Amino acid sequence: MSKFTEALLNREIEKIREIEKSDLHKHSTTGGKCWDLRFRNETNYFDSIEEMEQWYEDNFHEFNGAIGYYKKIQASFKECKDNGIVLCVMSFSLQEILSFKSMSQFLKWIKKVKDSVAKDLVLLPEVSFDWRTPFKKIEHCLDEIFSAGWIKAIDLSGPELALPVEEFIPLYRKAEEYNLRKRIHIGEFGGPNEIIKAIDLLGLDEINHGISSVDDTNAMSLIRRQQIPLNICPTSNIRLKRVNTYKEHPIRKLYDNNILVTIASDDPLIFGQSVSDEYLKLFCYGVFEVEELDKIRENGIEVAREYNENAN
């Protein structure tokens, strides 16, 4: 029995936090719930991403300035350190990066914050584009951001399918020029046909969420055949009303269909759950046995290490 399985069996969250893990789906400004950033959402559920975004703005508007941004990023790195995260894909929005005078200034600032909190963390940074923003409005800044050599991946987030998948083909082709990992938020609100379309048109390496693939054997077969990891965030799916309960979460069926799944946090500041909490909940609700969760944990670390070795 490993230390991780023993900690799960004994339901000892502090010991679970000490064990090495990955977190392959964490947003930079909502990735921590510590220090000055008090968790303020114990009961709220959301009907849409837009409703969640409005709630976040209403409750954390005092952190919109430079000092507030610093605290939010600092909290995300501390959340990693406090939960045994050794490899993290942290998503920085295009707006965050462009708020700095230059890419080099942004990189210098992020390194300083990270080193002050989680120096040993292997950070796998991605730039996240918004589903609502047409390619022509972002193409002017791509070469400067990508050529810096720091970004390891791209992602699309925000309200799923706000624009057609076809709109972003040029973005994903540009990412290929720089050997960036191609990721996307899809299959949380959209159906399995949209997942299939995104894989075919964008050449995806990884999917954040992707839970609706469970409703279609063709979608699962494609994901399995192309060995595309799904980074699953159970609490996020429940609070956004995509899944009713932990017990009913489709991660079990995906796992049973030999889909490579990892367990991630998404937005701890909004949903109040760390990766460690997610593992414990999936055990306590009888979704997985401890040995299965340990295997998922190991798989997540392996995916992240391969990701890091192949990047750029």
**How far is Cα 101 from Cα 251, in angstroms, rounded to an integer?**
42
Question: What gap in Å lies between CA 160 and CA 189, rounded to an integer?
Answer: 7
Q: Which residues pair with 185 in a beta bridge?
A: 208
User: Active-site residue 51, yes or no?
Assistant: no
Q: Which of 96, 188, 206, 278 is catalytic?
A: 188
List beta partners, residue 186: 209
Helix residue spans in the chain (DSSP H): 3-9, 13-18, 49-60, 66-82, 94-98, 103-117, 142-147, 169-177, 192-202, 217-225, 234-239, 251-256, 268-271, 275-284, 290-310
**Residue 123's beta-bridge partner residues?**
88
Measured distance CA(193)–CA(160) in Å, rounded: 13
Q: Are strands 153-157 and 181-182 parallel, antiparallel or unpaired?
A: parallel
Cβ partners under 8 Å of residue 268, min gap 6:
26, 30, 31, 32, 33, 39, 79, 274
Residues with catalytic roles: 188
